[in-house]
Chains A and B, each alone.
Chain A
Amino acid sequence: MYRYDQHDHQIIKERIAQYRDQVRRRLADELTEEEFLPLRLQNGLYMQRHAYMLRVAVPYGMLSSTQMRKFAHIARKYDRGYGHFTTRQNIQYNWINLEDTPTILEELASVEMHAIQTSGNCMRNITSDEFAGVAADEVIDPRPYAEILRQWTTFHPEFAYLPRKFKIAINGSKEDRAAIAVHDIGLTVVHNEQGEVGFKVMVGGGMGRTPILGSVIREFLPWQHVMTYLEAILRIYNQHGRRDNKYKARIKILVKAIGADVFAAQVEAEWADIKDGPATLTQAELQRVAAYFGSPEYASLPSVDAEFEQHKADNKAFANWIKRNVKPHKVAGYASVVLSLKKPGVPPGDATADQIDFVADLADRYSFAELRVTHEQNLVLSDVQQSALFALWQEAKAHGLATPNVGLLTDMICCPGGDFCSLANAKSIPIALDITDRFNQLDYLHDIGELELNISGCINACGHHHVGNIGILGVDKDGSEFYQVSIGGAQGNNSAIGKIIGPSFSAGQMPDVIARIIDVYLRDRIENERFIDTAQRLGIAPFKEYVYATPIKSFEQHGEDAGTVVSY
């Protein structure tokens, strides 16, 4: 993985000094809260419902075991002993003191990490495929480009005060695992007919109150031009994006208003002036960065390990875990392992300091000391020998990290919601916990099969509810919390925005609502049909009809107060 050189270190060091002084000036009242706001946001610091929240960047979701251990240390020393992995492949700490933040940033810098641009109206931390570099279906490894773009976006002077936040995702596999269609810019690394490497450029996707899938504005952009072309996009957006209404300020609104073709033409015109300039990427720089992402020293192994196959045959629980949580690898004899952070009773994406340390240990022992964070809020050990999977499974199980539910209903994406977030209209964690409780039978869960259920506590859609096969959105009605349900959303190559099935429900009704939706699916599915395929084939009508046919009783839900529902 990428390692800082002296220039990277220098830049981070100067950032911390700058930020330390900004905090000092804020505490001395030399900066108003209004002035401090964008400064702290661009350092990842939010003011939440109860305390400050610090969002630390995990660039394109990749980190070392040393960096992971630092996360555990920060959780113990500066927070309440746990962290929350997010859909942006970052980690968040929910109980942070402002005064501690410069020192936390110093601790992070000591392991080549930072919190730069994890928030604010700027280019955010770039996300990518959690299996980048190891996926069996990978065409081109996107990580060198992701790192080059990380550096390009870092403190870009012209684009630090954009109309709104700006998210870039990059994918290099056949299957899109980076949800590129719902990003401000979605890049796919591709070959053209001549075999040259470049990008398919998608722009103007996003969720929030106006969910829109991105439009392709260029089928093939040679890799050398990625920075100048993105600069052209950003310059047009910076000048023409709406600033009168924050809800209409994202680039998707601009692209939709003028049309993707017109927007593309403006970008091309802007780009013509800077194309081939000094910001053009060089082969030497690409090679330098790519060298950091070379393959580890893989052993030469048979593609099938007999003992592993035997364990699978003998042990159904292990076989289930392999089926759901272990993914194919490009190298024979290896696999990638998803450690589920979706255990019953725990908010999706949360991990204790002990678990974080433990996962770092696993990475050291089983996976070349490297890890990934997924945008579904799980963790990945990317390079595990098949022969080690059984031992790894037993260890992970003992630490509550082997719930065999990846890709299933209980592997939910869920934002922190009203328990923590000051924007939320409704809680989301208790809904996730209640639904997980309801679907606690593993056989049943496996029978239901692949299903993405995504929960957001408000219209900002941090929980990606629009692209959930089942989406749940918390809404406020006359001061009470209710939940709107949509069906048919999808991420990936066939991205779609879900459709709302009808009037909203109370929290206590939600497990039954989901159960009824599943009943319709099980009733109407054709053999081997996934939920999303049934939903898209039938439309929302049969679901709507069944869910609303008779009243749904409300049951008593989990605790009310933030933090109190959490049990590890």
Chain B
Amino acid sequence: MREIIKDKAIVQDDWTVLRLAEGETPDAIEVPAGKHIIPLQVWLIQREELSARLKKTQDLAIWFGSAEQAKDLGADAALFPLLAVDFPKFSDGRGYSIAYNIRSRLGYTGEVRAIGDVLRDQLFYMQRVGFNAFATREDRSISDALKGLTDFSEKYQTSWDEKNPLFRRTERTGLSA
């Protein structure tokens, strides 16, 4: 079982990410038994068949590709115990807006997990936009990655984690010199 960071701690995780192999299509793929994070497109196409299983076992979750939108899942978000956003490359920043929208537009309160090319130096920003779980790259030290969550103690602007900008949170009067 692999380790992930969840709610600022290293924990064991038993979810498996289901990715389509070459030649597989969202309509034809069969979701195996057990806890799986499945592509959004598989859910959208097989919604009818998968709904009953989800209701009974809660062993399905969704992952968003970086070209997808939170609104593509819409109100169905509330059905899932976990939503994930994939980072095909750490430098692909679309996932930040997807996570922000999953929280702020869909009002989703469950686990939002970053998967894929997830590195220590992105974690602080990721938690700000709404991620609370990180399946960091397995070839890197996860305890080292954990340190990335505490890079900054102060922030200027709002995001999902901080509803008020610095100027509304604190009296900013003092000149430094």
Interfacial chain A residues near B129, Cβ < 8 Å: 157-158
A239, B176: Cα distance in complex, Å = 39
Q: Does A80 contact B (CB under 8 A)?
A: no
> Do the beta carbons of A279 and B157 come within 8 Å of each other?
yes
How long is the Cα–Cα vector from A239 to B65 in the complex, in angstroms? Answer: 12
The CA-CA distance from A10 to B125 in the complex, in Å, is 17
Closest residue on chain B to residue A37 by CB atoms:
B91
Give bound CA distance, A157 to B151, whole Å: 12
Contact with B along A1-40 (1 / 0, CB 8 A): 0011111111100110110001000000011000100110
From known contacts A11-B152, A11-B156, infer whether A5 and B176 are also in contact, taking CB-CB under 8 Å: yes
User: Is B170 part of the binding interface, using a Cβ–Cβ cutoff of 8 Å?
Assistant: yes
Using known A-B contacts A152-B157, A159-B93, A282-B167, determine if residue A18 contacts B151 with beta carbons closer than 8 Å. Answer: yes
Given contacts A5-B175, A282-B168, contact A157 B124 (CB under 8 A): yes
Does A161 lie at the interface of the complex (its beta carbon under 8 Å from any beta carbon of B)?
yes
Decide if B27 is an interface residue (CB 8 Å cutoff).
Answer: no
Tell me whether B155 and A155 are in contact (CB under 8 A).
yes
Is the pair A151, B121 in contact by a Cβ cutoff of 8 Å?
no
Specify the chain A residue showing the minimal Cβ separation from B96.
A158
Identify which of A8, A160, A238, A239 gathers the most chain B CB atoms within 10 Å of its CB: A239
Q: Which of B113-162 contact A (CB under 8 A)?
A: 119, 121-122, 124-126, 128-129, 144, 151-159
A38 contact set on B, CB distance < 8 A: 91
Bound CA span A38–B87, Å: 15
Residues in chain A near residue B173, CB distance under 8 A? 5, 288
Q: Inside 8 A of B58's CB, which chain A residues have their CB? A: none
Are B97 and A161 neighbours in the complex by a CB distance under 8 Å? no
For chain B, the count of residues having a C-beta within 8 Å of the partner chain is: 43
Question: How many Å from the CB of B96 to the closest CB on chain A?
Answer: 5
Task: For residue A556, give the distance in angstroms from its CB to the closest CB of chain B.
Answer: 45
Q: How many whole Å from A239's CB to the nearest CB in chain B?
A: 5
> Does A243 count as interface, using CB distance less than 8 angstroms?
yes
- Determine if B63 is an interface residue (Cβ-Cβ < 8 Å): no
Shortest B22–chain A CB gap in Å is 19
A30 CA to B147 CA, complexed, in Å: 14
Q: Is the CB of A3 within 8 A of B175?
A: yes
Provide the residues of chain A in CB contact with B25, threshold 8 Å.
Answer: none
CB < 8 Å neighbour of B90 from A10, A35, A155, A157: A35
Residues in B neighbouring A155, C-beta threshold 8 A? 125, 152, 155-156
B100 neighbours in A (Cβ, 8 Å): 158, 235
Across the two chains, which residue of chain B brings its CB closest to A148? B167
Chain B residues near A162 (CB-CB < 8 A): 93
* B94 CB-CB contact with A under 8 Å: yes
Complex CA gap A160/B96 in Å reads 9
CA distance A525 to B98 in the complex (A): 57
Against B, the Cβ 8 Å flags (1 = close, 0 = not) of A261-297 are 0000000000001000111001011001000000000
Which residues of A have CB within 8 Å of B174? 5-6
- B-facing residues in A195-235 (Cβ within 8 Å): 227, 235
Q: Is the CB of A238 within 8 A of B152?
A: no
For B128, list chain A residues within 8 Å (CB). 157-158
Q: How far is the CB of B117 from chain A (nearest CB, A)?
A: 9
Nearest-neighbour CB distance to chain B for A513, whole angstroms, equals 41
A506 contacts partner chain B, Cβ-Cβ < 8 Å: no
Decide yes or no whether A112 CB sits under 8 A from chain B. yes
Please tell me if B33 contacts chain A, counting CB pairs below 8 Å: no
Q: Does chain B have a CB within 8 A of A387?
A: no
Q: Which residues of A sit under 8 angstroms from B172, Cβ to Cβ?
A: 5, 7, 285, 288
Of all A-B residue pairs in the complex, the 7 with the closest CB atoms, nearest first, are A161-B93, A157-B128, A157-B125, A285-B167, A151-B156, A279-B158, A158-B96
> Using a CB–CB distance below 8 Å, which chain B residues touch chain A?
69, 90-94, 96-98, 100, 104-105, 119, 121-122, 124-126, 128-129, 144, 151-159, 163-168, 170, 172-177
19 examples of A-B residue contacts, CB within 8 angstroms = A7-B154, A11-B156, A14-B153, A15-B152, A17-B151, A151-B156, A155-B125, A157-B124, A157-B126, A157-B129, A157-B155, A159-B96, A161-B92, A227-B165, A238-B96, A239-B94, A278-B163, A285-B172, A288-B167
Q: Which residues of A contact B (CB under 8 A)?
A: 3-11, 14-15, 17-18, 22, 30-31, 35, 38-39, 112, 121, 151-152, 154-163, 227, 235, 238-239, 243, 273, 277-279, 282, 284-285, 288
